[in-house]
Amino acid sequence: MKTGHAVAVYLVKILVKLLLVLLAVSIICFVLISVSPVDPIRMYVGEVGMRNIQPETLAKLESYFGLDTPLTIRYFNWLSDFVRGDMGTSLIYRQPVIDVIGVRFVNSFALMLTAWLFSGILGFFLGVIAGIRRGRLTDKLVKGYSLLLASTPTFWLALVMLMVFAVWLKWFPIGLSVPIGVDASKVTIFDTLHHLFLPALTLSVIGVANIALHTREKMIDVMAEDYVLYAKARGKSTFSILRHHGIRNVILPAITLQFASIGEIFGGSVLVEQVFSYPGLGQAAVNAGLSGDSPLLLGIAVISAALVFSGNFIANALYGIIDPRIRRGLKND
Amino acid sequence: MTDITILQQYKKPRLNQRHKTLIYFIFAVVLLLCIAISGSLMGEIAITTRSDAKNLLPSMAHPFGTDWLGRDMLARTLKGLSISIVIGILASVISAILAGILGVLAASFGKKTDAVIEFLINVVLGIPHLLLLLLISYALGKGMFGVVIAVAVSHWPMLARVIRGEVLAIKEAPYVKIAKKLGQHNLKIARKHMLPHIFPQFLVGFILLFPHAVLHEAALTFLGFGLKPEQPGIGIILSESMKYLSLGMWWLAVFPGLALLSTVLLFDLMGSSLRSLIDPHSANK
User: Cα(A153)–Cα(B80) distance, rounded to whole angstroms?
Assistant: 15
* Between B74 and A47, the higher pLDDT residue: B74
B-chain residues near A289 (CB < 8 A): 134-135, 137-138, 223, 225
B-chain residues near A30 (CB < 8 A): none
Share of chain A above pLDDT 90, in %: 12
Would the CB atoms of B135 and A29 count as touching at under 8 Å?
Answer: yes
CA-closest candidate to residue B234, choices B88, B48, B57, B41 = B88
Q: Nearest by CB to A163, which of B127, B128, B245?
A: B245
How many CB atoms neighbour CB B232 within 10 A? Answer: 27
Q: A72: Cβ–Cβ under 8 A, 6 or more apart, which residues? A: none
Which pLDDT score, from 0 to 100, does residue B234 have? 85
- Taking every pair of Cα atoms in chain B, the longest distance, rounded to a whole number of angstroms, is 82
Q: A17: Cβ–Cβ under 8 A, 6 or more apart, which residues? A: none
- Over 90: is that where the pLDDT of B34 sits? no
In contact, A246 and A128? CB cutoff 8 Å: yes
Interior/surface letters A3-19, b for 16+ CB within 10 angstroms, e for the rest: eeebbeebeeebeeebe
Give the H or E element holding residue B285.
Answer: none
For the residues B99-105, what does the mean pLDDT come to? 90
DSSP states of B197-252 = HHHHHHHHHHHHHHHHHHHHHHHHHHTT-SS-TTS--HHHHHHHHHHHHTTT-THH
Classify residue A46 by burial, with Cβ atoms within 10 Å: 0-12, 13-18, 19+. exposed
Instruction: Among A326-330, B27-31, B179-183, B194-198, name the one with the lowest average pLDDT.
Output: A326-330
Instruction: Among A60-74, A296-310, B91-105, name the one with the lowest average pLDDT.
Output: A60-74
A-chain residues near B259 (CB < 8 A): none
> A71 touching B, CB under 8 A?
no
Share of chain A above pLDDT 70, in %: 83
Q: How confident is the model at residue B3 (pLDDT cuts 50, 70, 90)?
A: low
B-chain residues near A286 (CB < 8 A): 134, 223-224
Which pLDDT score, from 0 to 100, does residue A212 have? 92
Q: What is the 3-state secondary structure (H, E, C) of chain A?
A: CCHHHHHHHHHHHHHHHHHHHHHHHHHHHHHHHHHCCCCHHHHHHHHHHHHHCCHHHHHHHHHHCCCCCCHHHHHHHHHHHHHCCCCCECCCCCCEHHHHHHHHHHHHHHHHHHHHHHHHHHHHHHHHHHHHCCCCHHHHHHHHHHHHHHCCCHHHHHHHHHHHHHHHCCCCCCCCCCCCCCCHHHCCHHHHHHHHHHHHHHHHHHHHHHHHHHHHHHHHHHHCCHHHHHHHHCCCCHHHHHHHHHHHHHHHHHHHHHHHCHHHHHHHHHHHHHHCCCCCHHHHHHHHHHCCCHHHHHHHHHHHHHHHHHHHHHHHHHHHHHCHHHHHHHHHC
Would the CB atoms of A290 and B285 count as touching at under 8 Å?
Answer: no
Q: What is the pLDDT of residues A283-302, one digit of tens each?
A: 889 988 888 888 888 889 88
Q: What is the pLDDT of residues A229-247, one digit of tens each?
A: 899 899 888 888 888 888 8
For the entire predicted model, the pTM comes to 0.83
User: Cα(B125)–Cα(B127) distance, rounded to whole angstroms?
Assistant: 6
Q: How confident is the model at residue A168 (pLDDT cuts 50, 70, 90)?
A: confident
Which pLDDT score, from 0 to 100, does residue A274 have? 87
- Over 90: is that where the pLDDT of A126 sits? yes
> B245 touching A, CB under 8 A?
yes
For the residues B148-163, what does the mean pLDDT come to? 88
Secondary structure percentages of chain B, helix, strand, coil, to 5:
75, 0, 25
Backbone angles phi, psi at B229, to 5 degrees: -60, -25
Q: What is the pLDDT of residues B191-220, one digit of tens each?
A: 888 888 888 888 888 888 888 898 998 898
* Between A115 and B70, the higher pLDDT residue: A115
> A271 touching B, CB under 8 A?
yes
* Between A71 and A186, the higher pLDDT residue: A71
Q: How confident is the model at residue A68 (pLDDT cuts 50, 70, 90)?
A: low
Which pLDDT score, from 0 to 100, does residue A190 have? 66
Report ipTM for this prediction.
0.82
For the residues B264-276, what does the mean pLDDT come to? 88
User: Cα(B165)–Cα(B120) distance, rounded to whole angstroms?
Assistant: 16
Would the CB atoms of A151 and B264 count as touching at under 8 Å?
Answer: yes
> B225 touching A, CB under 8 A?
yes
Domains along chain B? 75-282 (1.10.3720.10)
Average pLDDT score, chain A: 82
Q: Nearest by CB to A285, which of B122, B134, B219?
A: B134
Backbone angles phi, psi at B66, to 5 degrees: -125, 165
> B157 touching A, CB under 8 A?
no
Instruction: Among A103-112, A274-283, B246-255, name the one with the lowest average pLDDT.
Output: B246-255
> A281 touching B, CB under 8 A?
no
- Over 80: is that where the pLDDT of B38 sits? yes
Which pLDDT score, from 0 to 100, does residue A289 have? 85
Q: What is the pLDDT of residues A241-266, one digit of tens each?
A: 888 888 888 888 888 888 888 888 99
> A249 touching B, CB under 8 A?
no
> A38 touching B, CB under 8 A?
yes
* Between B159 and A44, the higher pLDDT residue: B159
Would the CB atoms of A36 and B139 count as touching at under 8 Å?
Answer: yes
* Neighbouring-strand partners of residue A96: A89
Task: Please state the length of chain A.
Answer: 333
CA-closest candidate to residue B31, choices B275, B270, B277, B218 = B270
Nearest CA in chain A to B140: A36
CATH architecture of A104-316: Orthogonal Bundle (1.10)
Would the CB atoms of B261 and A153 count as touching at under 8 Å?
Answer: yes
Give me Rg for the CA atoms of chain A.
25
Which pLDDT score, from 0 to 100, does residue A177 have? 47
Which pLDDT score, from 0 to 100, does residue B71 have? 77
- Over 50: is that where the pLDDT of A46 sits? yes
Q: Nearest by CB to B139, which of A35, A305, A308?
A: A35
Q: How confident is the model at residue B55 (pLDDT cuts 50, 70, 90)?
A: low
User: Cα(B167)–Cα(B99) distance, rounded to whole angstroms?
Assistant: 13
Please report, to the nearest 10 degrees, the dihedral formed by the alpha carbons of residues A109, A112, A117, A122 taken in order: 170
Backbone angles phi, psi at B224, to 5 degrees: 105, 5
Average pLDDT score, chain B: 83
Domain boundaries along the sequence of chain A: 104-316
DSSP B107: H
In contact, A318 and A251? CB cutoff 8 Å: no
- Over 90: is that where the pLDDT of A319 sits? no
- Over 90: is that where the pLDDT of B227 sits? no
CA-closest candidate to residue A280, choices A158, A136, A128, A102 = A102
Task: Please state the length of chain B.
Answer: 285
Q: How confident is the model at residue A47 (pLDDT cuts 50, 70, 90)?
A: low
For the residues B119-142, what does the mean pLDDT come to? 87
